[in-house]
């Protein structure tokens, strides 16, 4: 496992301190966080892609190539949608790849496993369209990172082709909420324990918190693709990321663990210098996996047609 610690800049530390003061105690810190930070505008085009009743969007920044595709799973507590400008657009701009943003079903109306089933349906639709698995990257943030890791375990168990790589940023991997950082980082994160309990209870709606794949840490990690796992070391959920990375590494999985010092949960979408650095690292990781480590690998043609 390659573990990299990234120190925070003074500018980021000031911005995070201001956010902690402004947002702590909010009932929905995610919504407050997105309205608190000014993110640089990134130009991109979108194209709807319907799969049965499930809405998705292709998100393409200018200059997007055709070396592969990114399936992006958004955050927001398994309960709220996310527009393309939050992360899908910036990820397309940074990677030069088309990003498929899936609007999976949301709790509480559609609790576990509805969102996970939607993710698997979209991934299999990409395969059916002729996208080879080794040219698909699975990327998730927060709740979406949990879904990404859960989806990998389900795909491996079902014998489906595994994507080229996967990225999990600030995941919840253990719904028993047993990580030591839940107590050691009390007071340093924007997210509260009350929120984590609300998220767990609303999403699982009776499913066992110690079961897999809803809690990816409870599942097996053998046979997973190369992983990039990112987190802030001030997160309550820091140990959810690091424990999963360690378990995957012990199973022989190629793991990059990126830890950003003094960063809270959700920092990848805060528009910080740390956010931009992580997005660049995610993009480089995906590109390397698509290219097999060689920048001279020829691109494959990209064809998208509507389903449903």
Q: Is the pLDDT of residue 99 over 60?
A: yes
Q: Is the pLDDT of residue 299 over 50?
A: no
Answer yes or no: are the C-beta atoms of 87 and 100 closer than 8 Å: no
Q: Which two tokens stand for residue 74?
A: 């958004």
pTM, entire model: 0.92
pLDDT for 144 equals 98
Q: Is the pLDDT of residue 296 over 50?
A: no
Q: What average pLDDT does range 112-129 have in this prediction?
A: 97
Answer yes or no: are the C-beta atoms of 138 and 163 closer than 8 Å: yes
Cis peptide upstream of residue 35 (ω within 30 degrees of 0): no
Strand order in the sheet with 54-60: 2-6, 255-260, 227-232, 165-169, 136-141, 69-73, 99-102, 54-60, 45-51
Contacts of 9 (CB under 8 A, 6+ apart): 273, 274
Q: What average pLDDT does range 123-139 have in this prediction?
A: 97
- Active-site residues, by number, are 142, 235, 265
Answer yes or no: are the C-beta atoms of 143 and 112 closer than 8 Å: no
Give me the percent of the chain exceeding a pLDDT of 70: 90
pLDDT for 302 equals 37
- How close are the terminal C-alpha atoms of the chain, in Å? 41
Q: What average pLDDT does range 278-304 have in this prediction?
A: 69
The mean pLDDT of the chain is 91
Q: Binning pLDDT at 50, 70 and 90, where does residue 130 land?
A: very high
Q: What average pLDDT does range 207-227 have in this prediction?
A: 98
Closest CA to 104 of 91, 95, 114: 114
Question: Between β-strands 255-260 and 2-6, what pairing exists: parallel, antiparallel or unpaired?
Answer: parallel
Q: Which two tokens stand for residue 243?
A: 């424990």
pLDDT for 42 equals 77
User: What domains are there in the chain, each with its CATH number?
Assistant: 2-290 (3.40.50.1820)
C-alpha torsion 157→135→80→175, nearest 10: 30
Higher pLDDT: 65 or 154? It is 154
Q: 4: which strand partners?
A: 258
pLDDT for 37 equals 67
pLDDT for 40 equals 62
pLDDT for 19 equals 86
Q: Is the pLDDT of residue 20 over 50?
A: yes
Q: Is the pLDDT of residue 212 over 80?
A: yes
Three-state secondary structure call for residue 291: coil
Q: Binning pLDDT at 50, 70 and 90, where does residue 41 land?
A: low
pLDDT for 23 equals 78
Neighbours of 210 (CB within 10 A): 13
Question: Could you read off the pLDDT of 139-169 as tens digits, one per residue?
Answer: 999 999 999 999 999 999 999 999 999 999 9
pLDDT for 298 equals 37
Q: Is the pLDDT of residue 303 over 60?
A: no
* Rounded Cα gap, residues 191 and 20, in angstroms: 9
């Amino acid at each position: 496992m390659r573990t990299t610690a990234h120190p925070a800049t003074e500018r980021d530390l000031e911005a995070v301190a201001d956010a902690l003061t402004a947002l702590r105690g909010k009932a929905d810190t995610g919504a407050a966080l997105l309205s608190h930070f000014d993110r640089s505008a990134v130009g991109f085009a979108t194209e709807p892609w319907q799969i049965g009743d499930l809405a998705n969007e292709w998100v393409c920044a200018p200059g997007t190539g055709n070396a592969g595709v990114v399936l992006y799973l958004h955050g927001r507590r398994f309960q709220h949608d996310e527009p393309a400008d939050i992360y899908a657009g910036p990820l397309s701009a940074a990677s030069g790849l088309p990003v498929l943003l899936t609007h999976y079903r949301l709790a509480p109306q559609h609790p576990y496993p509805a969102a996970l089933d939607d993710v698997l349906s979209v991934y299999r639709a990409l395969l059916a369209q002729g996208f080879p698995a080794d040219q698909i990257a699975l990327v998730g943030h927060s709740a979406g990172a949990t879904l990404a890791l859960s989806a990998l375990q389900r795909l491996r168990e079902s014998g489906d082709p595994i994507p080229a790589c996967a990225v999990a940023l600030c995941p919840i991997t253990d719904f028993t909420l047993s990580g030591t950082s839940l107590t050691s980082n009390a007071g340093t994160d924007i997210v509260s324990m009350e929120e984590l309990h609300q998220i767990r209870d609303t999403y699982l709606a009776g499913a066992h918190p110690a079961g897999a794949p809803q809690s990816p840490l409870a599942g097996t990690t053998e046979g997973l693709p190369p992983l990039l796992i990112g987190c802030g070391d001030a997160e309550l959920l820091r140990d959810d990321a690091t424990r999963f990375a360690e378990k995957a590494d012990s199973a022989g999985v190629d793991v990059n663990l990126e830890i950003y010092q003094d960063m809270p949960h959700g920092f990848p979408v805060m528009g910080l210098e740390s956010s931009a650095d992580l997005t660049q690292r995610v993009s480089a990781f995906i590109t390397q996996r698509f290219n097999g480590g060689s920048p001279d690998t020829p691109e494959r043609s990209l064809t998208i047609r509507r389903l449903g």
